[in-house]
Amino acid sequence: MSIPPELHNPLRLGSTAPNFEAETTHGVIDFHEWKKNTWAILFSHPEDFTPVCTTELGEFAKLHSEFTKRRVKIIGLSCDSVERHHKWILDINETQNCTVKFPIIADPDRKVAVLYDMLDHQDATNIDKKGMPLTVRSVFFLDPLHKIRAQITYPASTGRNFNEILRVMDSLQLCNSKKVATPANWKPGYDVIVHNSLNDQQARELFPDMKVVKPYLRYTELQ
């Protein structure tokens, strides 16, 4: 089954995350109402009872407290029914030694997957039993205004790096609150880069310990 061109809606950084209503393992939700004015991560899976997805949902469950500490809501999506989701959660909890507490969206008709352009079009082998392209492993980082601030997409064969997901969220929240950027391989506690929108005088007022390597490359510590 091909996807009509009018359904394709490429989402870019800064786009408003489309709203939708859907069944989840926590009941029917209006996505924007569920999310409200918080940071959130929406992540997708091809289908239930798949091996890589099982490990990923387990990892999200184990890190749930880390996301909560950052005031980030997490919500999964898989292209199966709520009934199958609930059965799958039992397997996830058992095999991954965790407790899944976040909602998982039921998307058997791929409506949300199409809305967020999560489908895998790279070759003709990535087709499910209904003739639809499989859903890729997308991760959308959404800010309190429902804006897409970052996106990571993995193929169906490659499990996600959860250290990177947490690192990206830490960077987004930090740079959202201060006039800084984070350099390559940055982790919380590392030096950051002073934003180039600040001239030297403005930068010194905010960051007295700023270290200037080049006029365009200025580092500082954050306490």
Provide the annotated active-site residues: 53
Helix, strand and coil percent figures for the chain, each rounded to 5: 30, 25, 45
For residues 75 and 31, what is the distance between their CA atoms, to the nearest angstrom?
10
Q: Residue 185 phi/psi, 5° resolution?
A: 65, 20
- Spatial contact of 29 and 132, defined as CB atoms under 8 Å apart: no
E runs forming strands in the chain: 21-24, 27-30, 39-45, 72-78, 104-106, 137-142, 148-154, 180-181, 192-194, 211-214, 217-220
At residue 169's C-alpha, the angle toward residues 166 and 170, to 5°, is 85
Q: Do β-strands 148-154 and 180-181 pair in parallel, antiparallel, or remain unpaired?
A: unpaired
CA distance 45 to 28: 19
